[in-house]
Amino acid sequence: MTSLQEIIVILSDLKQSLIAFHGVNPVYPPPNKSETMARVEEYIKLVVAAISRGDWPLQLPIHGSDKMMTWKAANQRRKCLLLFHLLAKSHALLRTNTTSTKRDIYYEDVSLWGNQPVLDSTVTQMTRLLNIPRRCLNIGATSKGLVAGSLNFLDGDGKLVDCQSPTGILIPNDVEKLSQFRSKAFHILLVEKDSTFQKLIDDKIESFIGECILITGKGYPDVNTRRFLRRLWDELQLPALALVDADPHGISILAVYRFGSQNLEDIEHLSTPQLRFIGLQPSDIEPLHIPDEAKLPLTQRDRSLIDSLTQRPSVTENLLLHEQSAVFKSSLRQIVRLATLAHKLKRVQKVHRACWILMPEWASAADPSSATRPATSVISKDNVELSGEALDLRACGTPFGPASLAFSCSSPDASSF
């Protein structure tokens, strides 16, 4: 068995290994306010000039690139006008030194936008055209993610925020203005669902795995939650471990946190490549002999997502994630969600026990593209291997305390319960 102190030592070694492997995340300083305003004004003039000439199709150069953004179809004329309206709105926000959320902008003129997705796509289009992060345009988004645990920081008004709350606190909207992060945690535990997040807090997970920072994006994460996780790594450099469901959506959510979304990452820089995936893998569902009542069938929506996942470069280039996605694509396997598993299995009485019993995961630092699962061995502070991304975390024996937590690379079987 691995003691709590040994787990802390292993996490410390993992931290150093992640730093050595990934190095420092690149910093992309955004343009200052005057430069941003000048860029917005430039594109307002381009749009006005094109409209006055009656240009169609309309083509605008993407700033800092030799590529063009083109509007061709007749039904895209309205999209051009919405883009112009949003450019003017952003310029007004910058000029008056005020900020607004996408939701606020939408409700200022519901009839103009029609629905929220239209505004969302226009904001994305504008940021790509200007090649500026949305936060630099004074357009924000309302946070939905939560954080709890050993962490405090100063908010944008200089007020101290203590995250040691019995229900967690909402991640602030102005993530860029947060400062002076302080923590006694040994790692960050990112969980997919709010229900799991709350259960881990109630069960005092820190008594089992040491002081930690808990984060949830309540499913697919918003921009603020992703940026907050990235800032925590940049400021504190604590190992971040993601606990997600063994289903296509779990893998997709992990990919968004770790590699970024396909629309925003090259501009917003929200990804945390140091994030490591823990939890039940799709390929473990059958070997673990999980009872049928704890499984859910794949839906058509799941299968559509699987097809999308297996075509994403970030997944196809990551051997382990690609293999887990392929598990679903190649068969009619069922999926397992942790909350369902913890509820159904009689011998697993608490969600955190299910989480730590079922942890065949890649928590090490190195690139997974060349990693393979090691032979059976028990990992301790003396023989822990951090060179590959195939380190498995699993609880052995009776899962009722820190002494039961062990780091193991053994193949999962029913005896894990």
Active centre residues (catalytic)? 107
Distances (CA, A) of 346 to 89, 105, 384: 56, 49, 32
The residue type at 19: I
Are the C-beta atoms of residues 40 and 91 closer than 8 Å to each other? yes
- DSSP at 369: G
Tokens for 186, please give them. Answer: 């040994």
Please state, in angstroms and rounded to a whole number, the distance separating the CA atoms of residues 83 and 137. Answer: 14
Cα 337 to Cα 331: distance, rounded to the nearest angstrom? 18
How far apart CA 31 and CA 39 sit, in angstroms, is 10
Tokens of 388: 């590959």
Residue given tokens 């993407």 in the structure block: 62
Cα-Cα end-to-end distance for the chain: 15
Report residue 124 as tokens. Answer: 């994305």
Strand partners, 147: 169, 215
The CA distance from 234 to 242, in Å, is 17
Q: How far apart are CA 387 and CA 259, in angstroms?
A: 21
**CA–CA gap between residue 352 and residue 202 (Å, rounded):** 10
188 closest CA partner among 146, 229, 231, 221: 229
How far apart, in Å, are the Cα atoms of 290 and each of 67, 210, 287, 344, 399? 51, 28, 8, 10, 17
Neighbours of 357 (CB within 10 A): 24
Of 355, 358, 246, 253, which is closest to residue 298 (Cα–Cα)? Answer: 246
